[in-house]
Amino acid sequence: MLLLADPARYAESRRSELHAVADRLLDGRQFVLGGMVKEFELAFASFIGTEHCVTVASGTDAIEIALRALGCEGKEVLVVANAGGYSTISCLAIGATPIFVDIEKSSLLVSVSSLIDLVSEQTGAIVITHLFGLAVDCAEIDKLVRVKLGRSVPIVEDCAQAHGAKVGKIRVGAQAMIACFSFYPTKNLGALGDGGAITTNDDALAERVIHLRQYGWTQRYFQGVSGGRNSRLDELQAGFLTVFLRDLDERNDKRRKIVKKYVENGASVVQGGFANSEKYVAHLAVCTVKDRDILINKFDEAGISTGVHYPYLDSEFATTQHLVKQLLPNSWTARDKIVTLPCFPEMTSEEIGLVCSTISQCQQHFETT
């Protein structure tokens, strides 16, 4: 069965380097926040183009800590409802109220008009998710917010699915006030376990994040900042990520080429029109389809895994229903029409060919692009 993502293939190709990282850990003798974390933070900040990178234990922790660093406790935070729940969980963890923004039909990314409609004096932050690998232009959103409110509202970029994507020459993660990354294994840049990071150009925010990721300590054992937790990236994962970062742009290119072939064979990949653009890093090949169950079944018969990203909206749980103020028509429509096809850089040309021929055979089940 062809998996949706198979990070073990890439890891396998780096086996000897991973053993070298393990040796570096033992030789370095510092197992928490040591030299390999520092080295990766410098390398990743340099890659993204920010002054600071502070690693944490996961992408969800990154959003939670970024929102805390911005002082969003008790405030409203704008989020989309179709991004798997991570931003909403982070809001709820700090006592902020997620306000659900609808999405664009075409890209499944945040609807800027819905967002501008909902932004208000109560908004503590706006989480912008570069969903499925396509970068949202945060500068444009900031401009429109300033027109409405006469001031900016902090934007938190959620880059968990878009490592390396660019708006113009600027990478996601360097577009707004603060940005969050996940290094979950299947991500474009993935560790071999959980991991996350926050990037920012703001010195004071970076310092707050450094305190918050370690108990709110302003010095060892002294809780100078409230809301701190334990959220640290492992040395080993940092070492692996430094190795993997070198190939990121090249592997993103391979992802785009796969999506391009899917589009050529008739798949309605929702962001497929960007397959030639660095704005897009093809994290997930999400398509819109007419009858999802039939299509999933056809692919299953062909030995191809499919997924749904995501089967639920953040706004439909018992824990969040009472917060819903909007109807979110586009989010609901998309929820039942999306299906994700395999897309990862280590797919063989045979596997890509198999997916393409299955797409061709299922032509009538895809939405017209």
For a second copy, the closer of residues 61 and 102 by Cβ is: 61
Contact string 278-307 vs a second copy (x = CB under 8 A): ------------------------------
151-to-119, 145, 147, 201 alpha-carbon distances in Å: 11, 7, 8, 19
Residue 26: count other Cβ atoms within 10 Å of its Cβ.
Answer: 8
Does 236 engage in binding with a second copy (CB under 8 A)?
Answer: yes
- Omega of the bond leading into 10 within 30 degrees of 0 (cis): no
Does 68 engage in binding with a second copy (CB under 8 A)?
Answer: no
For a second copy, the closer of residues 218 and 277 by Cβ is: 218
Contact string 125-154 vs a second copy (x = CB under 8 A): ------------------------------
Question: How many chain residues are in contact with a second copy, going by CB under 8 A?
Answer: 59
Residue 329: count other Cβ atoms within 10 Å of its Cβ.
Answer: 12
Contact string 20-39 vs a second copy (x = CB under 8 A): --xx-xx--xxxx-------
Residue 303: count other Cβ atoms within 10 Å of its Cβ.
Answer: 11
Question: To 5 degrees, how large is the angle CA 172–CA 207–CA 247?
Answer: 35
Does 18 engage in binding with a second copy (CB under 8 A)?
Answer: yes
**Least distance to a second copy, CB of residue 264, Å:** 31
Round to whole Å and give the CA distance between 316 and 226.
Answer: 31
Does 311 engage in binding with a second copy (CB under 8 A)?
Answer: yes
Binding segment for a second copy among 102-110, 133-141, 310-318, 348-356 (CB under 8 A)? 310-318
For a second copy, the closer of residues 91 and 138 by Cβ is: 91
Does 85 engage in binding with a second copy (CB under 8 A)?
Answer: yes
Q: Which of 38, 104, 144, 229 is close enough to bind a second copy by CB under 8 A? A: 229
Q: Among candidates 254, 280, 276, 262, which has minimal Cα distance to 369?
A: 262
For a second copy, the closer of residues 6 and 142 by Cβ is: 6
For a second copy, the closer of residues 10 and 144 by Cβ is: 10
Tokens 């999405």 map to which residue? 103
Tokens 């706006």 map to which residue? 126
**Least distance to a second copy, CB of residue 265, Å:** 28
Q: Do residues 152 and 139 make contact, with C-beta atoms less than 8 angstroms apart?
A: no
Helices 292-301 and 349-361 cross at an angle (nearest 10°) of 140
Q: Which of 224, 303, 329, 353 is close enough to bind a second copy by CB under 8 A? A: 224
Q: Which of 111, 123, 320, 340 is close enough to bind a second copy by CB under 8 A? A: 320
Sort strands 97-101 and 155-158 into parallel, antiparallel or unpaired: unpaired
Q: Which of 4, 17, 43, 89 is close enough to bind a second copy by CB under 8 A? A: 89
* 3-class SS of residue 293: helix
Query: 307 Cβ partners below 8 Å, 6+ apart?
Result: 4, 284, 339, 340
* 3-class SS of residue 335: helix
Round to whole Å and give the CA distance between 352 and 364.
Answer: 20
Q: Which of 119, 174, 192, 296 is close enough to bind a second copy by CB under 8 A? A: 192
Q: Do residues 134 and 285 make contact, with C-beta atoms less than 8 angstroms apart?
A: no
Does 95 engage in binding with a second copy (CB under 8 A)?
Answer: yes
Contacts with a second copy, residue ranges (CB under 8 A): 6-8, 11-12, 15, 18-19, 22-23, 25-26, 29-32, 57-61, 64, 84-86, 89, 92-93, 95, 184-185, 191-194, 215-216, 221-224, 226-232, 234-237, 310-312, 317-320
